[in-house]
């Protein structure tokens, strides 16, 4: 099941890259990012918006093969559809097309997300449209080319069930670090994670080297935040997220 979370752009930034807060929410507008770079996933696009996108563009949701991340509440009139009507009446959804992601899965996740939004905002399936509908742009490119047929995509939306209600994932994860070459190095990093972050940590021997494994975090969002803390504090060069 898709994980849904929010990483909302601050209102002070949102006012500069939207038309305001009176979105009529009549349409759900489907896009693809067109960014095939490795790592150009939902998290990366959400961070881009959160940090203050330098382009004159904004969108409510980005979805990849793992999760959907919301950047703007639906009342914002995001700049995504290329026309005044599309921007002021549409909820903009970007499907990620990063080459290290699973496109089919991302499309399925988008269908689940859209089913959820339709229900919450009372929007019908005939108002789920392509970016192309408003501006004529060739977007969503792969869906328009039939990589997944548009009619099939609409069927996925109709058939979506188990639509998550809470914005927090409930899967459990741990972080495993890369190796440390000395006991002293691993001890000091583990100690800092315990004291500074208050985490449970375990030291594991790996041949002549050592690794740190953390206790569990609930939700992809929580574990990704924890990973960022480790990297920001430079406590490990490499980290891996493990499903529990």
Residues found near Zn ion in the complex (CB under 5 A)? 31, 131, 139
- Minimum gap (Å) between residue 230 Cβ and Zn ion: 35
- Minimum gap (Å) between residue 175 Cβ and Zn ion: 35
Residue showing tokens 């980005």: 62
Residue nearer to Zn ion on the CB measure, 97 or 189: 97
Residue nearer to Zn ion on the CB measure, 139 or 163: 139
Let me know the angle formed at the C-alpha of 232 by 73 and 175, rounded to the nearest 5 degrees: 85
Residue nearer to Zn ion on the CB measure, 139 or 143: 139
- Minimum gap (Å) between residue 31 Cβ and Zn ion: 3
Residue nearer to Zn ion on the CB measure, 35 or 179: 35
Residue showing tokens 């929410």: 25
The phi-psi region of residue 83 (left if phi > 0; otherwise alpha if psi is between -120 and 50; otherwise beta) is: beta
Separation in Å, CA 229 to CA 199, 201, 232: 12, 14, 5
Residue nearer to Zn ion on the CB measure, 13 or 144: 144
Q: State whether the Cα torsion 224-225-230-232 is positive or negative.
A: positive
Residue nearer to Zn ion on the CB measure, 31 or 116: 31
């Amino acid at each position: 099941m898709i994980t849904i979370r929010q990483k909302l752009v601050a209102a002070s930034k949102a006012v500069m890259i939207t038309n305001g807060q009176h979105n009529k929410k009549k349409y759900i507008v489907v896009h693809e990012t067109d960014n095939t770079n490795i790592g150009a996933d939902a998290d990366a696009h959400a961070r881009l918006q959160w940090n203050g996108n330098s382009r004159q563009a904004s969108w409510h949701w980005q979805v990849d093969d793992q999760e959907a991340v919301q950047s703007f509440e639906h009342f914002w009139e995001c700049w995504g559809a290329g026309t005044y009507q599309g921007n002021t009446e549409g909820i903009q959804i970007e499907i990620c097309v990063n080459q290290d992601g699973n496109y089919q899965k991302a499309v399925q996740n988008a269908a689940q997300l859209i089913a959820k939004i339709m229900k919450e905002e009372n929007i019908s399936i005939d108002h789920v449209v392509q970016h192309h509908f408003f501006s004529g742009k060739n977007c969503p490119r792969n869906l328009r080319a039939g990589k997944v047929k548009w009619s099939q995509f609409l069927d996925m939306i109709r058939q979506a069930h188990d639509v998550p209600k809470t914005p927090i994932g409930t899967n459990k994860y741990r972080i495993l670090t890369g190796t440390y070459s000395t006991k002293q190095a691993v001890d000091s990093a583990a100690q800092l994670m315990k004291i500074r972050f208050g985490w449970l940590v375990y030291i594991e021997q790996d041949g002549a080297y050592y690794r740190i494994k953390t206790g569990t975090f609930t939700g992809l969002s929580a574990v990704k935040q924890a990973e960022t803390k480790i990297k920001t504090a430079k406590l490990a060069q490499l980290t891996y997220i493990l499903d529990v």
